[in-house]
């Protein structure tokens, strides 16, 4: 088990890691995804545990159900205890979002996880993440896990 940094939300039963530098919009994007039906798992820090189903991600107990909302502070929000990580979203500047990206993966705790690059503040980013998750759920995760 290791503590890593980023924000985790569950989108349609799939864990999505939002990672980027401080102030890049991770929590803001999580908040907008939650407004569309996602559920918070962890904000700022998360823990990992390997399982036969994939990489389980969850919040440290002291941060469970807490989300930093810039301009409001740290707020208590509905959350779930854990999810299986299926997608990593690297938060980048708008000009660094590829128009036609190649398939890419991140290695997290020995698991290959699909990645995409997105700008947190683009209006369509939550929808793009939902479409990516839907596509992953459609094709499954066959051949992706390191073994």
Between the alpha carbon of residue 102 and those of residues 89, 96, 99, 117, the distances in Å are 14, 14, 10, 11
Query: What six digits make up the tokens of 95?
Result: 């000009």
Concerning whether 32 is annotated as a catalytic residue, the answer is: no
State residue 134's pLDDT score.
95
State residue 137's pLDDT score.
83
Please, what is the average pLDDT of the chain? 92
Percent of the chain with pLDDT over 70: 94
Instruction: Please identify which of the residues 19, 26, 32, 86 carries the catalytic annotation.
Output: 26
Query: What six digits make up the tokens of 53?
Result: 């189903």
CATH topology for 3-138 is Rossmann fold (3.40.50)
Q: Identify the three-state secondary structure at position 59.
A: coil
The arithmetic mean of pLDDT across residues 99-124, rounded, is 95
Concerning whether 99 is annotated as a catalytic residue, the answer is: yes
pLDDT digits (tens, 9 = 90+) for 91-102: 999 999 999 999
Quick one: residue 25, left, alpha or beta (phi over 0 = left, psi -120 to 50 = alpha)?
left
Concerning whether 26 is annotated as a catalytic residue, the answer is: yes
34: CB partners within 8 A, 6+ apart = 9, 40, 77
State residue 9's pLDDT score.
98
Q: How far apart are alpha carbons 85 and 94 in whole angstroms?
A: 25
Query: What six digits make up the tokens of 109?
Result: 């705790």
Q: How far apart are alpha carbons 127 and 63 in whole angstroms?
A: 27
Query: What six digits make up the tokens of 40?
Result: 């918070």
State residue 141's pLDDT score.
47
Concerning whether 134 is annotated as a catalytic residue, the answer is: no
State residue 140's pLDDT score.
64
Q: Domain map of the chain by residue range?
A: 3-138
Radius of gyration of the CA atoms of the chain, in A: 14
Query: What six digits make up the tokens of 22?
Result: 């401080």
The reported pTM is 0.91
Instruction: Please identify which of the residues 44, 86, 90, 114 carries the catalytic annotation.
Output: 44
Instruction: Please identify which of the residues 35, 52, 53, 99 carries the catalytic annotation.
Output: 99
pLDDT digits (tens, 9 = 90+) for 56-91: 999 999 999 999 998 999 999 999 999 999 999 999
State residue 34's pLDDT score.
98
């Amino acid at each position: 088990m290791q503590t890593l940094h980023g924000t985790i939300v569950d989108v349609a039963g799939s864990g999505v890691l939002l990672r980027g530098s401080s102030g890049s919009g991770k929590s803001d994007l999580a908040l907008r995804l939650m407004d569309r039906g996602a559920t918070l798992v962890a904000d700022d820090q998360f823990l990992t545990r390997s399982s036969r189903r994939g990489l389980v991600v969850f919040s440290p107990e002291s941060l469970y159900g807490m989300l930093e909302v810039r301009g409001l502070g740290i707020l208590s929000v509905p959350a779930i205890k854990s999810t299986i990580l299926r997608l990593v979203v690297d938060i980048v500047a708008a000009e660094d979002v590829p128009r036609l990206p190649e398939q890419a993966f991140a290695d997290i705790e020995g698991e290959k996880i699909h990645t995409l690059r997105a700008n947190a503040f683009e209006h369509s980013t939550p929808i793009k993440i939902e479409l990516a998750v839907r596509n992953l759920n459609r094709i499954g995760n066959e051949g992706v896990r390191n073994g």
